[in-house]
Amino acid sequence: MQRVSVKQDDAGHLAAIGAAVRARRRASGVSQEALAHATGIDRSHMGRIERGERNLSILNLIRIAAALDIAPSTLLMASGL
């Protein structure tokens, strides 16, 4: 099975998840830098996640959701997945 990369995300799933993360972060009044610090994810990596440029791992999705005080499924549902 071929590995999925951002270039192969024709359906825009990564961009949708990234937009959901950004919307929730902004609604919570948290800066991108503060969210990155709370999750242990590099700030530039967090920016790429929010722009849909990175294929984030399930563990990073869990860390982001925990820092935003929501369930990971909430982020997935907000992204339409």
Q: Which residues, other chains included, contact 64 with Cβ-Cβ below 8 Å and sequence gap of 6+?
A: 21, 35, 39, 41, 49, 56, 75
41-68 pLDDT tens trace:
999 999 999 999 989 899 999 999 999 9
Q: What is the pLDDT of residue 1?
A: 46
Task: Write the pLDDT tens digit of every residue in 8-38.
Answer: 777 889 999 999 999 999 999 999 999 999 9
Q: Domain coordinates of the chain in residue numbers?
A: 10-78
**What is this structure's pTM?**
0.85
Q: Could you tell me the fold of the domain covering 10-78?
A: 434 Repressor (Amino-terminal Domain) (1.10.260)
